[in-house]
Amino acid sequence: MYRNWLRKFPDLPADFSALEKPSDLAAWELSQWLPAHSFTLVKEPDLGDGFRISGSTVTGGETGLLYGVWALLRHMQGGAPLPAESSPRYPLRMINCWDNMDGSVERGYAGRSLFFEGGEFAYDPARIRHLARMMASVGLNVICINNVNVHEPAQGLIAERLPELSALADLFRPFGVRLMVSVDFSMPLREGLPTADPLDPDVQAWWRRTAEKVYDEVPDLAGFLVKADSEGRPGPFTYGRSHADGANLLARALKPFGGTLVWRCFVYNCRQDWRDTATDRGKAAFETYQPLDGLFEDNVILQVKNGPFDFQIREPLSPLLLSMKKTSLALEVQLAQEYTGQQIDLYTMAPLWREIFEDLPQENLSAAAAVSNLGRDENYFGHPLAAANFFGFGLMSWNPDFSPAESVAQWIRLTYDFSAEQADNLKRWMLSSREIYELYAGQLGLCWMITPHTHYGPNPSGYEYDLWGTYHRASRDAVGIDRTEKGTGYISQYPPELADRYRDPETCPDNLLLFFHRLPYSFALKDGCPLIQRLYDDHFEGAELAARMERELTALPFPEPDAGEIARRAAKQRENAQNWRDVINTFFHRLSGVPDARGRKIYD
């Protein structure tokens, strides 16, 4: 079996009868590596996920022992610095799978579902255990197995499918990984009630009974995840109720069992008229949730995407993450490279998360969630190097101060037997891959130049006259959207210091300029370069770098099957980058009529 960064570790045993809990597994992992007597494991339940390593003793809670052992193993095998003690910043470190029970994966780029096929549970227990081991090795502790768009028969996961859910939970349990399920807000209707109104006593009783049955079968279920009133999903708005009413309904049902209700804040009008320039989709989440701050039960976590839109190449931090002082929050990022090359183009995310975490107040952030990039492909991730995103997310949701460079270096050392020079070369390309992608696929904070629906490849007018609220409004003279108070007013959702910084194009960082401002093509950027010239230059440079990256990556001695997978993807990325360059440059050239100052080829 393909083992990713665990390839140098021994196989898991076939018989798990003696490995029921994380501390058992901690002892087993250690015994494979070190003579049994050289390390002692001491359980100190109060430490929970945390651990201490001193001399030849690892002390930790039930799960802490397993994380402590993995810290030790990553140190020995991957050269990671060994902490004397450590505990995670966020109690919940979650992977959100968007897997459907028909076996498809929404926005999945690594094959079909690892859990489902043909409307049924269908998995290889050995692969599930391996996935759980990968999660444990980097401190991840929750996996939501089904799509937030809950299509039948997935509603049944909390009804007639409970025994199967329980069997899957058993596989994850020894690794300290708890299951979560996405549930449909209108579930009571499916079960014969006339309404799903959160204030209806019968509906409340129905959810309480359901939670009881669920926890009878899966006593350590982490909780429910809900996408409501979003992109056609049912929700409390149908009944004229608020999202606090909706979330609290489920939270109260889960509370007696210690369950958490994770409620996504991806709510916006997806039927906008492009002619309406006053409505700004970016404002929607803040407008819906900020007035509800303080009204949620204490086992509710509001899960907020990192930016106000939808995992675009560059977005500012969502103002909602900066403004909910009395509510627990989860940061949601996307490992699946929906808008960032779909696990064909190389796009290493740790530098992006560093920026996000740097700006994020930590006080009420209690969880980090990542939309999964997993699938049934042999290597789980499609692009072999996309595994580093899963790995890095684990390390950075344990410790958001973790260095992106160290996370990538550690992953390379664990995964490949490279010389220091080869490893450095790979690390350099991985760490610059995000900027390279940004150069050719969307710079200066310009969003939505992508092909609608598939979200792959350039199509600068594709979303422009559509109903999704996704516009760049490029014209003959100018491009971008004025989001200051003179425009849509989005900027006023930020705390004053940040709003001041973004408001003035002179102080707004260039990489977000067209997100916040509508500017003429002649506008001089910080280095004096006219905006239109920067658009051209970046696209030429991005395509050149993608070509160079292909040459250098394919010169590295990757083992098979990685070598072939990487070469195929790097060649496709080179073609993609050229296509983006030509389509976007021609688009702006036709609009503006401004020639490239350096006389390079732009198609008419």
CB of 270 to ligand GCV, least distance (A): 8
Whether residue 281 contacts residue 470, with contact meaning beta carbons closer than 8 Å, is answered with: yes
Whether residue 298 contacts residue 310, with contact meaning beta carbons closer than 8 Å, is answered with: no
| DSSP bridge partners of 57 | 40, 54
Closest alpha carbon to 414 in 402, 429, 432, 427: 427
CB of 149 to ligand GCV, least distance (A): 5
Torsion of CA 146, 3, 435, 468, to 10 degrees: -10
Measure Cα distances from 482 to 280, 466, 520, 551 in Å: 10, 19, 12, 41
When computed from its CA atoms, the radius of gyration of the chain, rounded to whole angstroms, is 24
CB of 261 to ligand GCV, least distance (A): 17
For the chain, give percent helix, strand, coil, nearest 5: 40, 10, 45
| DSSP bridge partners of 301 | 262, 328
Closest alpha carbon to 436 in 339, 598, 324, 549: 549
**Active site residues per annotation:** 231, 310, 338
CB of 183 to ligand GCV, least distance (A): 14
Taking residue 492's Cβ as centre, other Cβ atoms within 10 Å add up to 15
- Written in H, E and C, the secondary structure of 518-585 is CEECCCECCCCCEHHHHHHHHHHHHHHHHHHHHHHHHCCCCCCCHHHHHHHHHHHHHHHHHHHHHHHH
Nearer to ligand GCV, 30 or 150 (CB): 150
- Within 13 A of 8's CA, how many CA atoms are on the CB side? 14
The single-letter DSSP state of residue 345 is S
The single-letter DSSP state of residue 10 is P
Whether residue 532 contacts residue 522, with contact meaning beta carbons closer than 8 Å, is answered with: yes
Whether residue 468 contacts residue 447, with contact meaning beta carbons closer than 8 Å, is answered with: no
CB of 229 to ligand GCV, least distance (A): 11
Residue 171, C-beta contacts closer than 8 angstroms, at least 6 positions apart: 125, 128, 129, 132
CB of 264 to ligand GCV, least distance (A): 7
Positive/negative CA dihedral, 147, 149, 154, 159: positive
**Residue in the structure block whose two tokens are 């990538």:** 408
DSSP conformation letters of 409-425:
HHHHHHH----HHHHHH
Measure Cα distances from 178 to 126, 156, 171 in Å: 17, 19, 10
CB of 310 to ligand GCV, least distance (A): 5
Q: At what angle do helices 201-217 and 162-172 cross, to 10 degrees?
A: 50
Cis, bond preceding 153 (omega within 30 deg of 0): yes
Measure Cα distances from 369 to 16, 134, 257, 544 in Å: 29, 16, 22, 34
Nearer to ligand GCV, 148 or 365 (CB): 148
| Residue ranges that bind ligand GCV, judged by CB under 6 A | 98, 106-107, 148-149, 227, 231, 266, 310
CB of 334 to ligand GCV, least distance (A): 8
Taking residue 593's Cβ as centre, other Cβ atoms within 10 Å add up to 10
CB of 375 to ligand GCV, least distance (A): 15
Q: What SS3 state is found at 120?
A: strand
Structure tokens belonging to residue 246: 């909706």
Whether residue 341 contacts residue 385, with contact meaning beta carbons closer than 8 Å, is answered with: no
Nearer to ligand GCV, 339 or 357 (CB): 339
CB of 162 to ligand GCV, least distance (A): 24
Taking residue 238's Cβ as centre, other Cβ atoms within 10 Å add up to 15
Taking residue 5's Cβ as centre, other Cβ atoms within 10 Å add up to 23
Nearer to ligand GCV, 114 or 136 (CB): 114
Structure tokens belonging to residue 323: 């403004």
CB of 300 to ligand GCV, least distance (A): 18
Whether residue 570 contacts residue 562, with contact meaning beta carbons closer than 8 Å, is answered with: no
